[in-house]
Structure 1
Amino acid sequence: MIKLNHIDDGKSFDFGRISEDYAKFRDIYPPEFFSKIHQIGLCSEGNTVLDLGTGTGVLPRTLAKYGAKFIGADISEHQIARARQLSQGLNIEYVVSPAEEVDFPANTFDTVLACMCFTYFDKTKLMPRIHKMLKENGRFAIMSLVWLPKESEIAKRGEELVLEVNPDWNGVGYDRPKFTKEGIPESYKVDLSSGFTVDESCAFDVSIPFTREAWHGRMKATRGLAAASITEEQRAYFDKEHWKYLEQQPKIFEVLHSAVFCVLKKA
């Protein structure tokens, strides 16, 4: 279980309890997302890459084809167990550890990744540790892929229904990022004082197709619902009402997302 004061008013959550659904419904990254990672040169052949908050290993499993050696770390033993099952035959190692406690020798990694998880980390502990583990000119990529409820009525309605059963969920109302003068997305709250410079930063829209079942699963596999500390009755209410709404939608539809990249270089 994770409990953070700035997340959902301190309400605990645990993605480990939903590892199977997490693997099934949150592997939604489109080709454009992985192409951008490869285009930046973050996971090239011969590189050693650490993926923090790896979950069920979605990024390492998809990017392994480019030839990098991956190590994925996650605080949940259930997430890591599922990642190992799904990664058989691939050049990926996994460790169970909070991001702030991952410990490898200095100058180990060419790249460190953190996708959809940076907000959960203690940056004052994490950033110096990453700086130490990165090689000279190594890079730390912070990334996200979030639906845009102001652009999608389907996403907006899903958020409204989650809030009916979990009003403390603050993962709602996302909009395209605003950038600081250094080029950092404001929501990332990155402190460069640990010895980093901004190497590249960008955001772009991607439209992702979903079936009704896939979108229902994606909404359920959130911090605000299946991973949250709410009752089975509350989850059942969401299931019923969300399906009732989705039955009125096309069998396949698209939801607009914002992909955000902030790549820092070790100075």
Structure 2
Amino acid sequence: MSQPSAPQDPDALRAFGGRVSFGRTAADYATHRAGFPQAFFDILTARGYATPPAQALDIGTGTGTLARGLARMGLQTTALDPSDDLMAQAMQLDTEAGVTTAYIKGAAESLPFDDAAFDLVTAGQCWHWFDRPRAAAEAARVLRPGGRCLIAHFDWLPLPGNVVAATEGLILAHNPAWAGAHGTGLYPAWLSDLAIARFTGLETASFDIDQPYSHTAWRGRIRASAGVAASLPRDAVAEFDSALADMLTREFPEEPLRIPHRVWLATGVRA
């Protein structure tokens, strides 16, 4: 999930407690936040959603986790985000991975590209931040006929008594305005967004995995979330991080933590 582009979805801002800036979390975001697993990219290959040498655009790219995976698959990849800080981290990670993506600053609602410029438009962990109807219309505009839009998520799952539920409770104790708890990792409304923008052949896919995190990595992952460092002042972030460290040591001492996640995607084809 990247720094939200302007204009932001008012419902998303209310859900996450007001103005959110992921640029403030760029280092933690790049270091500790797990990206989409290989099994996700295997689905893209198996279903023919992403086939080299297609031209792909990843909007709301953040630190480039989805764009980097597409580049590894052999696609010609361009990525867009409003945050210079996040894209700087993305370029460094690309260099380490030995891939190249063209990064461009911009907003999903007003893409700086010609009509019919791409074969694939992707959005990972970010669709809820956009003005969704405008973003869907722009995705359709820049896709060639027969091109595909793909919206994907990789979300933690709060289950009774698990570390995710306990962590969400702690976030709420420190940031009561945050309403991002209790997620299911499923987004049926995104299918309506695609249908209204006249995408056809709509499909979904999902699967669950356990993502390992050390205590240090989980603390960094949570600092990088919308309810903590992206929206709280620095001293409040430090106070929260200390409380999370204490909770992990006391209640979840095992390492690595096994954090349940759900991968979910929705996709459609430009008629």
Report the TM-score when normalising by structure 2.
Answer: 0.89
Give the counterpart letter for 1:68 in structure 2.
Answer: L
1:149 paired with 2:158, answer yes
Give the counterpart letter for 1:233 in structure 2.
Answer: D
92, 114, 119: which one aligns with 2:101: 92
Give the counterpart letter for 2:242 in structure 1.
Answer: K
The DSSP-based 3-state class of the residue aligned with 1:227 is coil
Question: Which deviates further from its counterpart, 9-18 or 105-114?
Answer: 9-18
Give the counterpart letter for 1:254 in structure 2.
Answer: R
Q: Distance in 2 between matches of 1:23 and 1:214?
A: 11
The DSSP-based 3-state class of the residue aligned with 1:225 is coil
Aligned to 2:44: 37
Cα distance 1:205–1:151, how it changes in 2: closer, same or farther (>3 A)?
Answer: farther
Aligned to 1:181: none
Give the counterpart letter for 1:246 in structure 2.
Answer: L
16, 19, 23: which one aligns with 2:30: 23
Q: Distance in 1 between matches of 2:160 and 2:44?
A: 25
Deviation at 1:127, TM superposition (A): 1.8
Deviation at 1:103, TM superposition (A): 2.4
1:20-57 CA distance string (max 9 Å, x none): 11111123422212222232323321100000000011
Q: Distance in 1 between matches of 2:62 and 2:125?
A: 10
C-alpha contact 1:43 1:67 (8 A) present in aligned 2: no
Q: Distance in 2 between matches of 1:203 and 1:46?
A: 25
1:122 paired with 2:131, answer yes
Q: Distance in 2 between matches of 1:85 and 1:224?
A: 26
Give the counterpart letter for 2:166 in structure 1.
Answer: R
C-alpha contact 1:8 1:168 (8 A) present in aligned 2: no
Aligned to 2:177: 168
Give the counterpart letter for 1:247 in structure 2.
Answer: T
176, 193, 198: which one aligns with 2:196: 193
Percent identity among equivalent residues? 30
Q: Distance in 2 between matches of 1:185 and 1:145?
A: 15
Aligned to 2:220: 217
1:222-257 CA distance string (max 9 Å, x none): 0110111x2333212211111011113202121111
Give the counterpart letter for 1:132 in structure 2.
Answer: R
1:245 paired with 2:250, answer no
Structure 1 gaps of 5+ residues are 178-183
Q: Distance in 1 between matches of 2:111 and 2:185?
A: 31
1:143-183 CA distance string (max 9 Å, x none): 10111102561001111111111111121101253xxxxxx
Deviation at 1:19, TM superposition (A): 1.0
Deviation at 1:86, TM superposition (A): 2.4
Question: Which deviates further from its counterpart, 78-87 or 209-218?
Answer: 78-87
Report the TM-score when normalising by structure 1.
Answer: 0.90
Cα distance 1:174–1:83, how it changes in 2: closer, same or farther (>3 A)?
Answer: same
Aligned to 2:146: 137
Following TM superposition, where does structure 1 have runs of at least 4 consecutive aligned residues deviating by more than 4 angstroms? 1-4
Q: Distance in 2 between matches of 1:257 and 1:187?
A: 19
C-alpha contact 1:150 1:175 (8 A) present in aligned 2: no
C-alpha contact 1:198 1:262 (8 A) present in aligned 2: no
1:45-85 CA distance string (max 9 Å, x none): 11000000000111122331211100000011111222223
Structure number with higher relative contact order (C-alpha < 8 Å, ≥ 6 residues apart): 2
C-alpha contact 1:205 1:258 (8 A) present in aligned 2: yes
1:65 paired with 2:72, answer yes
Give the counterpart letter for 2:269 in structure 1.
Answer: K
The DSSP-based 3-state class of the residue aligned with 1:155 is helix
Q: Distance in 1 between matches of 2:129 and 2:201?
A: 21
Q: Distance in 2 between matches of 1:232 and 1:91?
A: 34
